[in-house]
Amino acid sequence: MLKRLEGFIEPGSEEEKLVNQIDFSQLPHHVAVIMDGNGRWAKKRNLPRIEGHRAGADSVREIVETCARLGIKILTLYAFSKENWKRPKKEVVTLWRLLEEYLKKEDKVLVKNKFRLLVIGERDKIPLSVQKELGRVEKLTENYNNLTVVMALNYGGRSEIVEGVKKLLREKEVDVEALDEETFSRYLFTANLPDPDLVIRTSGELRLSNFLLWQIAYSEIWITPEFWPDFRRKHMLQALVDYQKRERRFGDIHS
């Protein structure tokens, strides 16, 4: 077992058995997660929906630590979609408040461990106090590279592509014939980030929910029935074991 996993993975546990199946030289560089099922988790327990979001924050902490200890370099979390504004106003307001509180509490953890925070999405629609806090923590951690935690906030894959086209068209000198996929990728929110190798979706739903539509063209997808508040390091390890059993061909044919 890797030294950095000592004290984090209990000897003889199911997690240790999973760790022993992982080839650490073949880990995904970038893992993206559709964190789904907070509301259903709460409903199942006869709790207010917001309690599901509170519980989900614990999963975020554990999965961030798990990725860092394993050596995964980028973790993208789908935290708030453009469609989430359709939810009850009280729930939306509380969600943004919880995020603001989370940033104020977790900034020290990010700094201590040299984790970088990066935000993607249409920031101008985010409440101003949250924008300010996001900007503060991004600035605070901009030079760290142990793990980059990307938060997708007020994000939608289709609108990201549209915004990318708008940015492209605003440039006066655009050589249309020279435009290729690599060049266009620089106009997206994820410019300078590699595409995800692995996408994880919780709650068992079989859809992409408008998440990183351009970037996940060749990502491996792993779906678990667990609601996000129940998702823990064991499930992350299961996803990695399954990922490493797959042959990534990118449209080619391998013998």
Contacts of 57 (CB under 8 A, 6+ apart): 98, 102
Please report the pLDDT score of residue 1 as a whole number. 56
Q: Is residue 253 part of a domain?
A: no
Name the stretches of the chain with pLDDT < 70.
1, 172, 249-255
Q: Which domain holds residue 74?
A: 28-156+196-243
Task: Give how many domains the chain has, as a whole number.
Answer: 1
Amino acid 65: pLDDT: 97
* Predicted pLDDT at 187: 96
Residues known to be catalytic: 36, 84
**What local confidence, expressed as pLDDT, does residue 175 receive?**
83
Q: Is there a domain that residue 168 lies in?
A: no
The answer to the question of residue 187 being in a domain is no
pTM above 0.85, yes or no: yes
Q: What's the pLDDT at 174?
A: 78
pLDDT of residue 252: 63
Residue 23 lies in a domain: no
pLDDT of residue 2: 77
pLDDT at 173: 78
Q: Judge whether 127 lies within some domain.
A: yes
Residue 140 resides in a domain: yes
> Is residue 10 domain-resident?
no
**CATH number of residue 64's parent domain:** 3.40.1180.10
Q: Per the domain annotation, does 143 fall within a domain?
A: yes
